[in-house]
Amino acid sequence: MAIALVLVLVVVGSVLFHFLSPWWWTPIASNWDYIDNTIIITFWITGVVFAAVVLFMAYCVFRFRHREGNQAAYEPENKRLEWWLTIVTAIGVTAMLVPGLFVWNQFVSVPSDATEVEVVGQQWQWSFRLPGKDGKLGTSDTRNVSPENPLGVDPSDANGQDDVVVEAADLHLPVGKPVKMLLRSIDVLHDFYVPEFRAKMDMIPGSVTYFWFTPTKTGTFQVLCAELCGQGHPLMNGVVMVDTPEDYLAWLGEQQTFAQLSAPQQVGSAE
């Protein structure tokens, strides 16, 4: 009886914790509410199964407890029960997988009008590159990385000369416009993650990964690295500021291009 009661209390406590817990997602600030909805569906399905299984265990512990003179009935097979369990399990698994497939299809289908923004991760800071007036990002290569060219932009690519370079500083994005984040790492694994945007992706040295999103709220959002990347991993933070179109253009006009940063510095001589 005590064990059955403990099992019932486990279910009741779990349900109360889920509905009364102060810990929940941060308020969403992008178009990816589909991700939240998919996780909620998974919560409900797994929660119902968890409660049903544990309550069934409590029932069995109480109903079939040891009593003098009782003898268990031996039934090694029950095809009807096996079919019932197989069908219900298949329905539950399908209900969890299908929404995720729809979301994944949207996740990898980048809108044609999305602006490309390059994110470069390195121990332990974030840098960014945005297209210039030509609207195109120039090519880049880790082999080009140097103190004078920290993002490895190809100096021979004309499309990269007007690229806006933001090194170890805040990234600004316009609200309401889709953005394709091109993710590069020049040392170890990183993961560019802003909780309010929901979408994230690993950054793998030697390759370019991506995700896209549309910022839906203006504000300041913290960037986290969601992949253990060394001793300074907890300190690898950054900031993404989502601006109104006017504020974004004003910020963009204050940034330097790759050509400006790589131009020889004028050094005066004392007579």
pLDDT tens readout for residues 114-153? 999 999 999 889 999 999 888 888 888 888 888 888 888 8
Contact 112, 58 (CB under 8 A): no
Looking at residue 144, its pLDDT comes to 85
Structure tokens at 15: 């349900």
3-state secondary structure of 93: helix
Classified as helix, coil or strand, 135 is coil
- pLDDT at position 266, please? 53
Can you list the residues of the chain whose pLDDT is less than 50?
267, 269-271
End-to-end, the C-alpha distance of the chain in Å comes to 98
DSSP 3-state of 133: coil
Give the neighbor-by-neighbor strand order of the sheet with 209-213.
164-166, 125-130, 115-122, 179-185, 209-213
**pLDDT value of residue 83:** 92
* Strand locations in 195-263 (E): 200-203, 209-213, 219-225, 238-243
| Exposure b/e, 46-79, CB count within 10 A at least 16 = b | eeeeeeeeebebbeebeeeeeeeeeeeeeeeeee
Q: 169: buried, middle or exposed (CB in 10 Å: 19+, 13-18, 0-12)?
A: middle
- What own/partner pairs with CB < 8 Å and gap ≥ 24 does 140-148 have? 140/184, 142/184, 142/186, 142/205, 142/206, 145/186, 148/262
Distance of alpha carbon 60 from alpha carbon 32, whole angstroms: 43
Residue 213 zone, left/alpha/beta (φ > 0; ψ -120 to 50; rest): beta
152, 129 Cβ separation under 8 angstroms: no
CATH code of domain 115-270: 2.60.40.420
Residue 170 and residue 240 in contact, taking contact as beta carbons nearer than 8 Å: yes
- What are the residue ranges of CATH 2.60.40.420 in the chain? 115-270
Structure confidence at residue 114 (pLDDT)? 92
Task: Give the Cβ contact number of residue 84 at 10 Å.
Answer: 11
By CB atoms closer than 10 A (0-12, 13-18, 19+), residue 186 is buried
